[in-house]
A and B are shown apart, each in its own frame.
Chain A
Amino acid sequence: MTCVADDDIVKQVIGGNVNAFEYLLKKYQGHVMKIIRKHIPGSHADEAAQDVFVRAYQALPNYKKKDSFKPWLSVIAVRTCYDFWRKRYRSRERPMSELSDRHQDWLQQVLSDQSSLSYHDIVRKKEARELLDTALNQLSAEERIILELVHLEGLSGKEVSQLLGWSIANVKIRSYRARKKLHKILTPWIEETEGGRH
């Protein structure tokens, strides 16, 4: 039912009724924002989400009726996030790899079995997200997006291949390499924390 309604709106927009697009924008803004917020820092999320809808509008003539509008829009959203990191990484400075005392304290709490914090609290700590971002910033744009989709979000190889337009074999190889690289980044952190404890 919703698909039919979406298709009608798409037809109207292609037919020249630009204002009809507002219906799709309001209907799917939450869905798009959810995807964007996972992949892009909050300060850039609104701009990236706007870009997703502008891109979707421009790509509407390529939208095929047999696809559902929501997954089609998800593909545009994920690729916009990927492009965001590609542009950003081109102009980025050397990523910081040294950890602050605050981050080291958090790591020590996490890695010691006698932590006073519950698992739930550890996960919710600001330091967790900051450290994850520090690690992700040391990967390339390709490695970052694949690691986020496969290992952090838990999507299947087939789903990721549809979202990024890569072959399944390519997704598997890149995801394996990205995971290896993440482990390489995390190992000195753990060693440093272990060394500090002794």
Chain B
Amino acid sequence: MIQKKIKKLTSIFRQTYQLEGKTDAGDIRCAQVMDRIRSLGPLPSGADVFMWFEQVVWRLSPAALVLILVAAFCLTQLDILADHEVFSLFEDTEEITLAQLFVP
């Protein structure tokens, strides 16, 4: 029973709401809007940079990806192990020297 009444009430509300769209909407104070827009000035040229980014830079992304993959491959091929070994040699010396300090 209540559901039926809710349905009736919502249907009336729908009609009432839709009447708002049919009444005279009235005019906007155009002069006021244009004053606000003029005070903002011409649209910034920075937007062009974003458009350029969107149109051009994204097209280069596949090439950039290939470059990153090649660079990663080259890095794995470099002989960085030798540097590590040299570094660990110094570390070992340090440990020995410290250990010697505690020898009576």
Contacts and interface: CB of A to CB of B under 8 A. Distances in A.
A110 interface: yes
A167 to B, nearest CB: 23
Interface residues of A, number: 51
Interface stretch (A57-65, A66-74, A78-86, A87-95): A57-65
B33 A111 contact: no
B58 interface: no
Interface string B14-56: 1111111101011111101110111011110001101100000
Name A's interface SS: helix
Chain B interface size, under 10 / 10 to 19 / 20 to 34 / 35 or more: 35 or more
B34 A38 contact: no
Name B's interface SS: helix
B13 A38 contact: no
Q: Taking each of B18, B23, B33, B41, which has the highest tally of chain A beta carbons within 10 Å of its own beta carbon?
A: B33
A110 to B, nearest CB: 6
B19 A151 contact: no
A187 B37 contact: no
A124 B19 CA distance: 8
Nearest to A120: B15
A142 B50 CA distance: 31
A44 interface: no
Q: Taking each of B10, B14, B16, which has the highest tally of chain A beta carbons within 10 Å of its own beta carbon?
A: B16
Interface in A15-63: 16, 18-19, 21-22, 25-26, 29-30, 32-34, 36-38, 45-46, 49-50, 53-54, 57-58, 60-62
Interface of A: 13-14, 16, 18-19, 21-22, 25-26, 29-30, 32-34, 36-38, 45-46, 49-50, 53-54, 57-58, 60-62, 107, 110-111, 119, 122-124, 128-129, 131-132, 135, 148, 151-154, 182-183, 186-187, 190-191
Interface of B: 2, 5-6, 8-10, 12-21, 23, 25-30, 32-34, 36-38, 40-43, 47-48, 50-51
Q: Which 5 A-B pairs have the closest CB atoms?
A: A61-B47, A33-B25, A152-B17, A128-B16, A16-B42
